[in-house]
């Protein structure tokens, strides 16, 4: 495990004190107060998306100002060796960036809410593990985790750090060459956009050390199903809760939207904090379009003890 993860994981909320949303309008503050009053004295489930990690320097897919992105699907990855070469070349670059990301105040606020007993659990669509780094314990990584890889043939899992060493040996100076092209842009989920096709075609893909099979990041691709046990555990968190809070997710994919629909069907308040529209807006009891990290920090500071 990276030394950074030991250091950050032991950092408490006190070292990242919540501050009021300095740029919030009077209307936003009024909505925050209403959200506080809805959540006060209750235990709620928290569902987070990419909008929470943008303050940590990790791009999102659909936030305001985000460029159009076409992520590789699971089907494209498994059926074509050239696609896997392109993916792993980009991932090798993206991982070198993502692994240095640190939790932001929103991650620490979520950990503080859990510590104080407010959360029945935390469901995240992010694969960056920043919630765990910030100290959250009861976390379901709905879409998997970027710091592991899995062999599609034998099922063994390996750390992404180990794979990075293998890829460095197979592709010496690749990262340096990529930086020199100036045609690389960081993308979500440890991916990168690389325009130099000659650079991509030179990349050597690593095979499973045990069986020589195909390695894949241990997270859910577009076109791939979320494992059933994660879905069931997430539903249980929502069922145990008196409300559901969505923070930083556009709810575009069903993996997250299903929990909003489930909570609303049960008559539970649904709070959505996200910049821009979401697919769950019609189910929201209250919606706040504001900075996610600032809003969670304010709520963690303002919610009274249970």
- Give the model confidence (pLDDT) of 22-33 as tens digits: 566 889 999 999
E strand or H helix at 144: strand 144-151
Q: Find the angle CA(7)-CA(9)-CA(13) to the nearest 5 degrees.
A: 105
Phi first, then psi, for residue 246 (nearest 5°) are -105, 125
Check if 143 is active-site: yes
CA distance 275 to 52: 10
Catalytic residue among 97, 107, 143, 262: 143
- 136, 120 Cβ separation under 8 angstroms: no
One of 3.20.20.70, 3.30.930.10, 3.40.630.30, 3.40.50.1220 is the CATH number of 24-58+103-143+226-306, namely 3.40.50.1220
- Give the pLDDT score at 304: 93
- Give the pLDDT score at 177: 84
Tokens of 159: 């750390």
Tokens of 73: 């699907």
> How are beta strands 119-124 and 44-48 bridged, if at all?
parallel
- Give the pLDDT score at 58: 85
**Burial of 71 by CB count in 10 Å (0-12 exposed, 13-18 middle, 19+ buried)?**
middle
21: nearest Cα among 296, 303, 304: 296
- Give the pLDDT score at 16: 44
Phi first, then psi, for residue 23 (nearest 5°) are -95, 5
Enter the pTM of the model: 0.86
In the three-class reduction of DSSP (H, G, I as helix; E, B as strand; rest coil), residue 291 is classed as coil
260: nearest Cα among 70, 274, 228: 274
Low-confidence ranges of the chain (pLDDT < 70): 1-24, 60-70, 182-195
233: nearest Cα among 148, 157, 122: 122
Tokens of 149: 């890889």
pLDDT digits (tens, 9 = 90+) for 40-67: 999 999 999 999 999 998 876 555 555 4
- Give the pLDDT score at 262: 98
Q: Could you tell me where in the chain the CATH 3.40.50.1220 domains are found?
A: 24-58+103-143+226-306
- 118, 303 Cβ separation under 8 angstroms: yes
């Amino acid at each position: 495990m990276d030394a950074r993860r030991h250091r950050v994981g032991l950092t408490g909320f006190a070292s990242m004190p919540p501050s009021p949303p300095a740029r919030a309008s009077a209307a936003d503050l009024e909505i925050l107060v209403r959200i506080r009053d809805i959540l006060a004295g209750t235990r709620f489930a928290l569902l987070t998306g990419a909008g929470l990690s943008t303050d940590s320097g990790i791009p999102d897919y659909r936030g305001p100002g985000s460029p159009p992105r076409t992520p590789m699907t699971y089907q494209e990855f498994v059926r074509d060796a050239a696609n896997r070469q392109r993916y792993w070349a980009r991932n090798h670059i993206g991982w070198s960036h993502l692994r240095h990301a640190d939790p932001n105040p929103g991650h620490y606020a979520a950990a503080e809410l859990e510590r104080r007993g407010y959360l029945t659990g935390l469901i995240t669509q992010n694969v960056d593990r920043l919630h765990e780094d910030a100290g959250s314990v009861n976390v379901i990584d709905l879409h998997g985790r970027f710091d592991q890889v899995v062999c599609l043939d034998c099922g063994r899992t390996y750390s992404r750090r180990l794979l990075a060493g293998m890829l460095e040996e197979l592709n010496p100076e690749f990262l340096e060459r990529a930086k020199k092209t100036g045609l690389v842009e960081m993308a979500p989920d440890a991916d990168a956009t690389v325009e130099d096709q000659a650079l991509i075609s030179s990349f050597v893909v690593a095979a499973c050390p045990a069986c020589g099979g195909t390695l894949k990041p241990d997270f859910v691709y577009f076109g791939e199903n979320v494992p059933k046990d994660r879905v069931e555990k997430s539903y249980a968190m929502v069922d145990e809760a008196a409300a559901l809070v969505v923070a930083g997710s556009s709810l575009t994919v069903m993996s997250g939207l299903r929990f909003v629909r489930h909570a609303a069907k049960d008559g539970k308040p649904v709070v959505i904090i996200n910049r821009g529209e979401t697919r769950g807006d019609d189910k929201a009891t209250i919606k706040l379009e504001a900075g996610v990290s600032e809003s969670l920090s304010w709520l963690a500071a303002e919610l009274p003890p249970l």
